[in-house]
Amino acid sequence: MPTPHQPPLQIGLAGFGNVGAGVFKNLEKNRDLLRQRIGRDLEIRRIVVRDPAKVRDIAPPQALVSTRLEDLLEDEAIEIVVELIGGTVQAFDLVKGALERGKTVVTGNKALLAERGRELFAVAEAKKTPIYFEAAVAGGIPIIKTVQESLVGNHIQSVAGIINGTCNYILTRMTEAGLDYRDALAEAQQLGYAEADPTLDVNGWDAAHKAIILASLSYGSWVPTDEIHVEGIERVTRRDIDFASRLGYIVKLLGIIRLHPADSAIEVRVQPSLIPRSHILASVNGVYNAILIRGDVVGETLFYGSGAGQDPTSSSVISDLADAALWRNNCEGHTGFVPHGLYGKPLPVDESVSKYYLRIEAQDEPGVLAQIARVLGDHGIGILSVIQPEDFDHEVAAIVLMLHYATFGTVRTALARLRELPCVREEPVLMRVEAL
């Protein structure tokens, strides 16, 4: 344990947006507590911002402000660089440059790690200088440390998570308040839960970046971004949510990570899914996140909490700063990613298996259901149940089918055949049904 006589540990902070301001605020707020627990003061020496003239709710001391990221690299007194600028270009250069100079890095940048983590952790390993990234996944939930440390004695069998608060809020409001997608999104933007450009959230890629990080930590090798299946919530309608409810299900955007022991393949996908109303994840609402992990020793464990926001995310950053401070004093521990190479390549999505929800808008005429059933039967896909509600117009009928377990590739092939039927009037809607 370091002595109280050591000088403060100097930190360079890149980015002073919502999370960066929270880090600054909460470091000051709990300075004494942190000193007691890690035996040393944490002091921000330099803050890099894009626009020094911008009016902020929390104003950084002007004496600390810079517009040059290079200042964090060139100042030899700075021992820890906190990267909160986002993106994958400038952030990569900053993190790589810091590691090459022996500076410890703390980042909350999920896209950077998912897309270029392999390169950065190679530099970290070569320089024996760690990267900490608790804030990159699930905001204030300590899920990275859990996978790396608490579950170190487990083979991770599966991870299923609600890991995007924006999508969860939108789907919650569509379910509970009967809003359509556009109105729920507008409400999320008004409340600050969604960005003015919400694309990365609603198209599933924010959750996908987090899933890639969790899968890579769990299985010891980096999962390529082009080898996972990603769908967003843009096509989820209030009608589908209502049909799911009639069938006893809730719609959630899920990240699914699963090991297939027979061939050591890793299944990684993100998509809107139906889950049983009785399942614990179905009760996770609003902007909250929840992650369900199954290990071969521990069994099933659930982690729940705020997945975003200034204070929860800054709590994770400060936790990493405390770990970085202890590492700087003791130089013990790993560099952030421990490769263990026990598993093979990602499972092709067409080989993944689940049940399915299928809604088809078809011409209201005799024999339509038989045509649909014939196509599914020709592909070996069983039908578990059918709903054909009477609340439709006189020309088009909604037919909702729950399909038995089948590979995704088989279902996609059948879907292409269904689109060709003259009686099918609109693009069919397909969602997974997860047993979890």
**370-382, pLDDT tens digit by residue?**
999 999 999 999 9
Interacting residues of 198 by C-beta distance below 8 A, sequence separation 6+: 166, 185, 188, 189
Whether 335 is in a domain gets the answer no
* Alpha carbon distance 340, 79 (integer Å): 29
Q: Residue 312: enclosing H or E segment and its boundaries?
A: helix 310-330
* Alpha carbon distance 137, 392 (integer Å): 43
pTM of this prediction exceeds 0.85: yes
Q: What is the DSSP letter of 286?
A: T
Query: What number of CA atoms fall less than 13 Å from residue 101's CA on the CB side?
Result: 20
Q: Are residues 156 and 119 in the same domain?
A: no
Q: What is the 3-state secondary structure (H, E, C) of 22-83?
A: HHHHHHHHCHHHHHHHHCCCEEEEEEECCCCCCCCCCCCCHHHEECCCHHHHHCCCCCEEEE
pLDDT bracket for residue 433 (50, 70, 90): very high
Q: Are residues 211 and 232 in the same domain?
A: yes
pLDDT bracket for residue 289 (50, 70, 90): very high
Q: Are residues 297 and 315 in the same domain?
A: no
- What residue has token string 């487990």? 154
DSSP string covering 350-417, please? GG-EEEEEEEEEEE-STTHHHHHHHHHHHTT--EEEEE--S-S-SSEEEEEEEEEEEEHHHHHHHHHH
Q: What is the DSSP letter of 324?
A: H
Mean pLDDT of 74-91: 97
Q: Are residues 315 and 299 in the same domain?
A: no
Interacting residues of 278 by C-beta distance below 8 A, sequence separation 6+: 248
Q: Are residues 155 and 280 in the same domain?
A: yes
pLDDT bracket for residue 366 (50, 70, 90): confident
Q: Residue 273: enclosing H or E segment and its boundaries?
A: strand 265-276
**Residue 273, strand partner residues:** 252, 432
Q: Are residues 247 and 171 in the same domain?
A: yes
Identify the pLDDT of residue 228: 94
- What residue has token string 């399915």? 356
What is the residue range of 67's domain?
Answer: 9-139+310-330
Q: Residue 97: enclosing H or E segment and its boundaries?
A: helix 90-100
Q: Are residues 175 and 271 in the same domain?
A: yes
**249-280, pLDDT tens digit by residue?**
999 999 999 999 888 899 999 999 999 999 99
Is a pLDDT exceeding 80 seen at residue 3? no
Q: Are residues 173 and 220 in the same domain?
A: yes
Q: Are residues 149 and 256 in the same domain?
A: yes
Interacting residues of 300 by C-beta distance below 8 A, sequence separation 6+: 292, 293, 294
Percentage of the chain exceeding pLDDT 90: 84
Q: Which amino acid is at 395?
A: E
Whether 84 is in a domain gets the answer yes
The two three-digit tokens of residue 55, written as one number:
């009016």
Whether 414 is in a domain gets the answer yes
Give the domain-ending residue among 306, 322, 342: 306
Helix 18-29 and helix 31-38, axial crossing angle in degrees, nearest 10: 70
Q: Are residues 295 and 317 in the same domain?
A: no
Whether 341 is in a domain gets the answer no
* Alpha carbon distance 51, 405 (integer Å): 54
pLDDT bracket for residue 1 (50, 70, 90): very low
Whether 269 is in a domain gets the answer yes
**331-353, pLDDT tens digit by residue?**
766 667 777 766 678 999 999 99
* Alpha carbon distance 386, 399 (integer Å): 7
Whether 339 is in a domain gets the answer no
CATH at residue 170: 3.30.360.10
**CB atoms closer than 10 angstroms to residue 329:** 16
Task: Give me Rg for the CA atoms of the chain.
Answer: 24
The two three-digit tokens of residue 419, written as one number:
């689109």
The two three-digit tokens of residue 190, written as one number:
């008004």
Is a pLDDT exceeding 60 seen at residue 81? yes
CATH at residue 417: 3.30.70.260
- What residue has token string 């109303």? 277
pLDDT bracket for residue 5 (50, 70, 90): low
pLDDT bracket for residue 330 (50, 70, 90): confident
Rounded to 5, what percent of the chain is helix, strand, coil?
A: 40, 25, 35
Q: Are residues 241 and 212 in the same domain?
A: yes
Is a pLDDT exceeding 70 seen at residue 247? yes
Active-site residue set: 210
Whether 1 is in a domain gets the answer no
Q: Are residues 373 and 406 in the same domain?
A: yes
Evaluate whether 284 touches 266 at the Cβ level (below 8 Å): no
Give the domain-ending residue among 295, 330, 365: 330
Evaluate whether 99 touches 80 at the Cβ level (below 8 Å): no
Positive or negative, the CA dihedral 178, 247, 388, 409 is: positive
* Number of domains, the chain: 3
CATH at residue 82: 3.40.50.720
Whether 147 is in a domain gets the answer yes
**CB atoms closer than 10 angstroms to residue 378:** 11
Identify the pLDDT of residue 219: 92
